Amino acid sequence: IPVQAFDLVIFGGTGDLAQRKILPALYRRHCAGQLPDTARIIGAARAELSRRDYQSLVRAALQAGDISAGKDAAGGQVDSFLARINYLAIDATEAEGWQTLAQTLGRPTADRVRVFYFSVGPALFAPLAEQIWAHDLADDQTRIVVEKPFGHDLASAKALNRTLASHFDESQIYRIDHYLGKETVQNLMAIRFGNMLFEPLWNSQYVDHIQVTVAETVGVEGRASYYDKSGAMRDMVQNHLMQLLCLIAMEPPAKFDPDAVRDEKLKVIRALEPVEPHHIVRGQYALAQEGAGGDEDQSYRETVGDPRSSTESYVALKAHISNWRWAGTPFYLRTGKRLVARSSVINVFFKDAPHSIFGADAGRHANLLTIRLQPDEGITLKVTIKEPGPGGMRLIDVPLDMSFAQALGADIDDAPDAYERLITDVIRGNQTLFMRGDEVEAAWAWTDPIIAGWTSRGDVPKPYDSGSTGPGDADLLMRRDQRDWQGIN
């Protein structure tokens, strides 16, 4: 079903994100017939490019992305997509270009959705917002989209929220966390709240602990200057991992509506206890072990060009949620770059049965629910059965395994990627999968003391081999609790 007519202006239209994510996502929606004929896309950036130059840039970006590698099922629609695209050279801090943009767009009207995508650094949010209002380009229906990083601590996030709030209502602001646009992340809510099976057991009475792993094989290549100031805590934990934690731990919202869902997520973040320093491990990737394979031959410090960098590319931590449902059930989170495998998984470890009728020889068995977010999306439930054969009542664990690709046939490959879904949600005016200002602030309020603690203690991250499962201290964190990580080992 096509979305409403819209004008989308992408500030930062020549940037990396626009080329790798935003424009390919729009192209795929175009191929799916979801963009109405009258929809217009305007790239805006400082570079003096002609419309034709920009169209060539977009064409090259589509070819460089996976679109040329088979996603272009519709084939040959690049020209009709490019026909929608315009370009204007605009400087956020100068007068240049704004008059032309005003002429191109005209005054906002009720029958066209107007979206300004701020795909630029946060320093430009305020100047852009001011120019938009000074040139009469917005009304109270206009929407803006902003990307992470949304600040680098609580104070800067509050300042950004204040800046945006002085120009736009919260209902007009769409803060992107692309993890929320992932099909399987939304499936977390479907699994929890669409089945009777899980929810009655989803609490500390039945759940021993929960692990969330987001492991990457890529390093920081190409993004060193951003990443070295940020690190895994700000880049991944404060946003993506906390969003996953919220979806796993939140109470059932009364309905699937933006504020109902976001209210519940916020309550989880606010119930998080401060993390004890000995419950967190930082790591930084070193060179791979000889013979470990892979063609990566740079350590983190070599990549960022600073032999003394103490930025972490890995974090593992134990978190506690102080509320009725979760008191006593720890949540272990870990994420890192240059690890042995790309794997995002959630493991829900259920408690042992309270009494074994089969005696001590049967061993200890407990159910484990694994939700694989990427790759090979699916669910596995480990269940205990009798070992076949005449050897008496011996128990073994077997998986009840479901891969979404197998269960749903080819459809899963055609599922829109995160940006496709999120951009169409902006046009439809649905904020459910976007972060509210208070959520982002609460997340920083939890991570700030962790980062401040590292700074005041002069903490140096533990080196780990590229291609490994991370620093040994992260395993110790688990072993101290008589547990083990599950997922990428």
Q: Which residues are annotated as a binding site?
A: 46, 148, 178, 182, 216, 235, 337
CA distance 270 to 276: 16
Q: Closer CB to ligand BG6, residue 179 or residue 446?
A: 179
Q: In angstroms, what is the minimal distance from the CB of 179 to ligand BG6? A: 7
Q: In angstroms, what is the minimal distance from the CB of 411 to ligand BG6? A: 20
Give 411's contacts (C-beta < 8 A, 6+ positions apart): none
| Residues that constitute the known binding site for NADP(+) | 46, 148
Q: Closer CB to ligand BG6, residue 235 or residue 312?
A: 235
CB atoms within 10 A of CB 154: 18
Return the structure tokens found at 468.
């490994």
User: Contacts with ligand BG6: how many residues (CB under 6 A)?
Assistant: 2
For residues 19 and 52, the answer to whether their CB atoms sit within 8 Å is no
Q: Closer CB to ligand BG6, residue 136 or residue 413?
A: 413
Q: In angstroms, what is the minimal distance from the CB of 389 to ligand BG6? A: 43
Q: In angstroms, what is the minimal distance from the CB of 151 to ligand BG6? A: 14
* Contacts with ligand BG6, 214-253, as mask; x by CB under 6 A: --x------------------x------------------
Among positions 49-78, residues that touch ligand BG6 (CB under 6 A) are: none
Among positions 18-47, residues that touch ligand BG6 (CB under 6 A) are: none
Name the nearest CA neighbour of 13 among 43, 52, 55, 58: 43
Give 161's contacts (C-beta < 8 A, 6+ positions apart): 437, 440, 441
CA distance 55 to 68: 16
For residues 130 and 92, the answer to whether their CB atoms sit within 8 Å is no
CA distance 47 to 139: 28
Q: Closer CB to ligand BG6, residue 191 or residue 215?
A: 215
For residues 468 and 489, the answer to whether their CB atoms sit within 8 Å is no
Counting contacts by CB under 6 A, is residue 7 touching ligand BG6?
Answer: no
Omega of the bond prior to 463 within 30 degrees of 0, cis? no
Q: Closer CB to ligand BG6, residue 217 or residue 432?
A: 217
Query: Can you spell out the DSSP letters for 444-457?
Result: HHHHHHHHHHHHHH
* Contacts with ligand BG6, 265-294, as mask; x by CB under 6 A: ------------------------------
Q: Which helix (H) or strand (E) covers residue 129, if one does? A: helix 125-134
Q: Closer CB to ligand BG6, residue 97 or residue 122?
A: 122
| Residues that constitute the known binding site for substrate | 178, 182, 216, 235, 337
CA distance 49 to 51: 7
Q: In angstroms, what is the minimal distance from the CB of 216 to ligand BG6? A: 5
Helix residue spans in 272-400 (DSSP H): 300-304
Q: In angstroms, what is the minimal distance from the CB of 306 to ligand BG6? A: 18
Active site residues: 240
Omega of the bond prior to 108 within 30 degrees of 0, cis? no
Among positions 418-447, residues that touch ligand BG6 (CB under 6 A) are: none
Q: Which residue is nearest to ligand BG6 (CB)?
A: 235
For residues 371 and 188, the answer to whether their CB atoms sit within 8 Å is yes
* Contacts with ligand BG6, 159-198, as mask; x by CB under 6 A: ----------------------------------------
Question: Where along the sequence are the contacts to ligand BG6 (CB under 6 A)?
Answer: 216, 235
